[in-house]
Structure formats: structure tokens, C-alpha cells
A and B are shown apart, each in its own frame.
Chain A
Amino acid sequence: AQRVTQPEKLLSVFKGAPVELKCNYSYSGSPELFWYVQYSRQRLQLLLRHISRESIKGFTADLNKGETSFHLKKPFAQEEDSAMYYCALGGYGGATNKLIFGTGTLLAVQP
């Protein structure tokens, strides 16, 4: 079955510290992975997707098919990065158009 696991409900770091939000997935075919972010009182929005291999707001994520992971990383956290982060699995096989979300990780960046 398709599944996304985010093991940490809360990650608290100090400003300037490195951040790694963990995401593991389960899917037998070729996955499409995304990170969505929800800032306080704002809508869920796309942060980045593995296929574009881009860095957004200093965040990067590399798809590791061997470890079935798509961890989100940033070398130096900023206070404005505090938000809820959701890893999502989608577009698998071209036969579906739904996203499977993880439970989310709340990132709290302390001053």
C-alpha cells in the first residue's frame, strides 16, 4: 500500500541551526514526492517537488529510492521557517491523481 511516514510530530531548533525533516514512503512503482508547507493561518502550499530538483527558501530535498526517503533539509534555519511541513506522495503510475500525505511535522525555530 502507498504510505508516507513522517516520524517527528515536532522539531524544535535554534535559529541558525541545520534542519532535517524526515520523510519515508512506501510505493512499489516510480514515486513523485512533494513537500507542502502551512504557515500559521495560511493555506497549504507547495514548497518543492523532487522532480524539479530546485531549492526553495533555502530548502532542498533529495529522493533516495534505496532508502525510500525524501528528507527536507536546510543548512541554517530562520524564525520565519516555523510552520507545519507535510510530505506527500503523488502521481504514481499515472493512474491516479490523488496525493497521500504524511501526518506532518511542526518545525519551531527558536530565536
Chain B
Amino acid sequence: EPEVTQTPSHQVTQMGQEVILRCVPISNHLYFYWYRQILGQKVEFLVSFYNNEISEKSEIFDDQFSVERPDGSNFTLKIRSTKLEDSAMYFCASSEEMPGASSYNSPLHFGNGTRLTVT
């Protein structure tokens, strides 16, 4: 069964440094997402991406964050200048259809996550 893959599994960086988290969504999926989970807290939506542009973003996704689909397979999340509070597990997800576009939602397929530690 095809899976969403994320690399690296664990990233340690110093405050103020730039990080890029990488994801390879399932090949025939059209919608891509980043979520994050701070330790002990809920999974939070960051951004959704479709047709080479951001379709929706949360208030968490400020100017320090950006996403890109540089080629036909990768989907990246960049944090320009990391802060201590960016430490979290970051999950990439993809779906075949847009949830909510019809009465039958396409489920999200999640990657294993990248644990980002900012020191």
C-alpha cells in the first residue's frame, strides 16, 4: 500500500536557524497538508496546498513558514528562523480529494512525522 514518507525522522537545530522538512506524498494525491503536534497537545492544522498554491492556512502559519512543491514528488515545509516554541512533531498528509468538496470526504493519509527539536 502506498505511504506518505517524511524525512528526516528527527531534526535538531539551533534557535534562529532555517530548517526544511521534507515529504513525499502518495503519487496520485492532489491535496497536501502539514500538521504539527507540540508534545502533550493536540494535532494542529498548519497549511493545505493544492494546484501549486496554498489553499488554506492557520494563524500558526505566519511569515516564518513556507511550503513548496519543488518537483513532481516532494512537498516541503520551511521554517526560516526557528524558535524554541517550534519544537514539535510535524506531520505531512495527502489526500486524493478535497475534504468537504462532496458528501464523501477523502481520508487524509499521514506520514510518520518529523520530530523537530529547537535548542
Contacts and interface: CB of A to CB of B under 8 A. Distances in A.
Interface of A: 32, 34, 42-46, 49, 51-52, 86, 90-104
12 contacts: A32-B100, A43-B111, A44-B91, A46-B108, A49-B105, A51-B103, A51-B104, A51-B105, A86-B43, A97-B31, A97-B100, A103-B41
Nearest to B111: A43
A87 B17 CA distance: 34
- Where chain B touches its partner, the secondary structure class is loop
B56 interface: yes
Contact of A99 (B45, B50, B98, B103): B45
A98 B98 contact: no
Contact of A44 (B44, B56, B110): B110
A42 B91 CA distance: 12
Interface band, chain B: 20 to 34
Residue with the highest number of chain A CB atoms closer than 10 Å, among B58, B103, B108: B108
Given A43-B110, A90-B99, A90-B100, A101 B105 contact: no
B113 interface: yes
Contacts of B11: none
Nearest to B97: A97
Interface in B67-95: 91, 95
Contacts of A96: 56, 100
Contacts of B91: 44
Contact of B100 (A43, A44, A93): A93
Contacts of A32: 99-100, 105
Nearest to A88: B43
A45 B44 contact: no
A74 B105 CA distance: 24
